[in-house]
Amino acid sequence: TAWSHALAQQLLQRYGLVTRETVAQENLPGGFGAIYEVLKALEAQGRVRRGYFIAGLGGAQFAQPAAVDLLRSLRDTESEKPELVSLAATDPANPWGSILRWPEPDDPGTSLSRSVGATVILRNGNLVAYLRRNNPAIQVFLPSDEPDRSAAARDLTGFLYQMAQELLQNPETRHHGGLLIDTVSGQPAYQHYLARFLEEAGFH
C-alpha cells in the first residue's frame, strides 16, 4: 500500500492528471490497477478529483485540483496568438502516439510512429504536422472547417519557414540548403491546399 501510494503521488506530481493511458506508458508492474485503489481513496479524502476531464481518454481520470483549474482556464481562454512548438516524436512531452492516438493521415500508405529523428509540430497542443528525418514528405493535420483551417495553415507554414531560416543560419545544418518539402500528405506540394500558404510564408 505504501508503494502504491508513493507511486500514485509521483504520477500526480508528474502529470497533474492520471489516466489509464498515462500509467500504461510508464510500464508499471500491475499497471493502472496497482494504483487505482489508492486514487479512489485520495478522491474520498478530497485530495484529488475524479471526472472526465480530457475527451478521448479512459473514463477513470484522477487529477489534482490545481490541474483541473488549469485545464478549465485553458479551455475558456482564447489566445490571440496560437502557440506552436516543435518536438522530437520520441519526447516524453509529446502525447501523440503514447497517451493520445495518432490521427489518421490523409495518405493511406503512411503510418506515424514515435521514431528517432521524427519531429512533430503542435499548435495549441494539437498535432498539425509530422516530419521524418531527412525526408521531404510532410504529413499535415488541419481543422476541417474554415476559418480555423486557413488560420492553422498560415500558422504552420510561418513556423516551417522559421525552421528553414534557422537551418540556413546554423553552421552545422547550412549545407542542407534550408527545408525541402516535396509532398504534403501524399500529394505533390504544389497541388496541396497548403501550397499557397507556403508561398505566402516565403517558400519557393
CA distance 153 to 142: 7
pTM, rounded to two decimals? 0.76
CA 39 vs. chain centroid, Å, equals: 26
- Does the N-terminal peptide bond of residue 147 adopt cis geometry, omega within 30 degrees of 0? yes
**Contact criterion met (CB below 8 Å) for 197 and 152:** no
Cα–Cα distance for residue pair 57/184, rounded to 1 Å: 29
Q: Are strands 61-63 and 17-18 parallel, antiparallel or unpaired?
A: antiparallel
Mean pLDDT on 55-81: 80
pLDDT tens digits, 102-137: 988 887 778 899 999 999 999 988 999 999 988 899
Q: Is the pLDDT of residue 191 over 90?
A: yes
